[in-house]
Structure 1
């Protein structure tokens, strides 16, 4: 189906999560599309000042996924785009518990509302390649039909598995609704601001000694294009969304002009401590497992069904680098802190090894 085919074009579209970059830009694109009748943005908080102008043509409703039932009923909405997912816990906003409530419980509430909406004809769900997990048992490439080899350790990945399970149940109950699930690789690009982009933007990048995982990214603009096409066209099914090709972690760090600081894998918890010392912010197990094991997905289904191919992983990463060129330099103090953190981690591993040896004797 080409972009000009409007057979699946919705009337009123409800977009959740419009106070964030992805939701605000998707809503703005839909407002600009003359084939879309009306766009309603649903979010419990107001957007930041830099995103507010994008929502000038969007009818904003302040509420969470639990509010969507009345919104769909009042507006007789035909399409719902669910983007209100939290990818990492935030202690200031309730931590892991609040994250699971929004991701899992919020999606359950939304799907229950969609099930009761007789005129609903389209559902688009943001998902993630985190659904495949990341472990040493992984295949070289994941297809959409590949099951994770083991339950992921990270909270976000487990939430994604729950969400996709609920969507499968919804599909069985409402087979006439076109349900599209988009498994996005990590976002990258000049405008992307995520845990992973902040990781690469720092002058000193913690890595795991002896590990050089293969990574894939998707440019944020290409993600927006796929989301837009999912709304204005009919593309039922589940799709991996990523740029072709891979970068190893060491290649990405070199391209970014950063310094890699390896830590021993038995002391991996020390990597999170090192990240805090260097001002990287908080990392969850999803991010830690990714930089240990990596993840690569097959995108042939996306190219065949959508007639669209995102720019390659290396090209998308280079756009991110250009936006951060000339960033922070590594000060002596920061290098000293990094070196001390590494030494502390090594001492902990050695001490643990000595204790284990004594026990075995």
Structure 2
């Protein structure tokens, strides 16, 4: 671990957790927490610097504090408070460009860790059953946070070529869940009724926020014998859950809708400010996404403490979610699924890879 660690996105709950945790690492003398807005949570003994990474002033921060390890966590799909989508995109893309430019000019920076997302793979009907880190997406994301992450990773690869002396680690996290997680997907899962795409039951993966913090620490440390803390890694809990299984465990009823109706509802929910039901999230809830975590275990040397199911269970327990008892929801779903007129229709929309027939989710 470097002596001076700079962390971006410190005003967010997850960034604050990492800032407090990294201070306890042996060999860390100083932690510099950076964000455009002051955090509402405490940062322990870290030094907070209010700076917008979209501005060139971030270079002065690196120089002034003699930073040698940068953990870039300010790549996100949601804004703080009333932050607009345009501002979020600028922070993701322009902010990353400015930060990388500052790192490139700083001779002291020796390690860079970037929080990315499995959204870079997109979600499409022709996707492979499992994505590896080297799999090219069948259809590149056309907008939203997914497109931001594709652009961010492109800039990071360019930086790695220009500064081969810097160890660069990109962590592609699956959907993050936990007591403090605030994402468009957690907003969707918190709805009293879940709109779903008729005929599809996507496979989903989750990673617990505790594992997010720990794997970021692992990536920021000096490599242990037999491990390599540079490269690109998928990070997700073991196993998968079907969306129907998630609904049952939530105890929340679902309303299957045709894709145009779900898209219209998503626009309405965004307009009302209830949840950011974006087109990319609609594609995820149609086709799903599953990634391989072999490199996470064998190369990075990390085993998640929570499986996908355990991360989801902790999320449900911490939020007190669900308006109906899971047993009642399961019984009602089973009765509806047994109706003859649904038997034929159910198989019509489940031929795409990455989805599963609704009757398989028990």
TM-score (norm 2): 0.83
Secondary structure at the aligned position of 1:292 is classed as helix
Q: CA deviation at 1:124?
A: 0.4
Consecutive unaligned residues of structure 2, counting only runs of 5 or more, are 224-228, 326-362
**Larger helix proportion of the pair:** 1
State how 1:1-361 maps to structure 2 within 5 Å: 9-48=1-40, 51-52=41-42, 55-65=43-53, 66=55, 67-88=57-78, 92-95=82-85, 97-234=86-223, 235-273=229-267, 275=269, 280-310=274-304, 311-325=306-320, 328=323
Q: CA deviation at 1:34?
A: 3.0
Task: Give the Cα separation in 2 of the matches to 1:141 and 1:214.
Answer: 11
Task: Give the Cα separation in 1 of the matches to 2:73 and 2:289.
Answer: 22
Q: CA deviation at 1:159?
A: 0.8
1:307–1:16: structure 2 CA closer, same or farther, 3 Å change rule? same
Q: CA deviation at 1:328?
A: 4.9
> Is the Cα–Cα contact under 8 Å of residues 203 and 290 in structure 2 kept in the other structure?
yes
The number of aligned residues is 317
> Is the Cα–Cα contact under 8 Å of residues 250 and 321 in structure 2 kept in the other structure?
no
Superimposed CA distance per residue, residues 226-256 of structure 1 (whole angstroms, 9 cap, x where no aligned partner): 0011112330000000011110111111111
Task: Give the Cα separation in 2 of the matches to 1:47 and 1:61.
Answer: 10
Task: Give the Cα separation in 2 of the matches to 1:278 and 1:169.
Answer: 39
Q: CA deviation at 1:267?
A: 2.7
> Is the Cα–Cα contact under 8 Å of residues 296 and 302 in structure 2 kept in the other structure?
yes
Q: CA deviation at 1:279?
A: 7.5
Secondary structure at the aligned position of 1:32 is classed as coil
State the partner residue of 1:358. Answer: none
Task: Give the Cα separation in 2 of the matches to 1:277 and 1:261.
Answer: 20
Task: Give the Cα separation in 1 of the matches to 2:184 and 2:97.
Answer: 26
Secondary structure at the aligned position of 2:275 is classed as coil
Consecutive unaligned residues of structure 1, counting only runs of 5 or more, are 1-8, 331-361
> Is the Cα–Cα contact under 8 Å of residues 12 and 76 in structure 1 kept in the other structure?
yes
Deviates most, 176-185 or 282-291: 282-291
Q: CA deviation at 1:263?
A: 1.0
State the partner residue of 2:340. Answer: none
Deviates most, 227-236 or 166-175: 227-236
Q: CA deviation at 1:76?
A: 1.4
> Is the Cα–Cα contact under 8 Å of residues 169 and 230 in structure 2 kept in the other structure?
yes
TM-score (norm 1): 0.83
> Is the Cα–Cα contact under 8 Å of residues 203 and 329 in structure 1 kept in the other structure?
no
Superimposed CA distance per residue, residues 244-294 of structure 1 (whole angstroms, 9 cap, x where no aligned partner): 111011111111110101111133322315646998422222211111111
> Is the Cα–Cα contact under 8 Å of residues 88 and 284 in structure 1 kept in the other structure?
no
> Is the Cα–Cα contact under 8 Å of residues 129 and 183 in structure 1 kept in the other structure?
yes
Q: CA deviation at 1:322?
A: 1.4
Q: CA RMSD in A?
A: 2.0
Secondary structure at the aligned position of 1:181 is classed as strand
> Is the Cα–Cα contact under 8 Å of residues 9 and 73 in structure 2 kept in the other structure?
yes
Task: Give the Cα separation in 1 of the matches to 2:222 and 2:250.
Answer: 37
1:87–1:20: structure 2 CA closer, same or farther, 3 Å change rule? same
State the partner residue of 2:334. Answer: none
Q: CA deviation at 1:137?
A: 1.2
Q: CA deviation at 1:75?
A: 1.4
Secondary structure at the aligned position of 1:306 is classed as coil
Q: CA deviation at 1:198?
A: 2.0
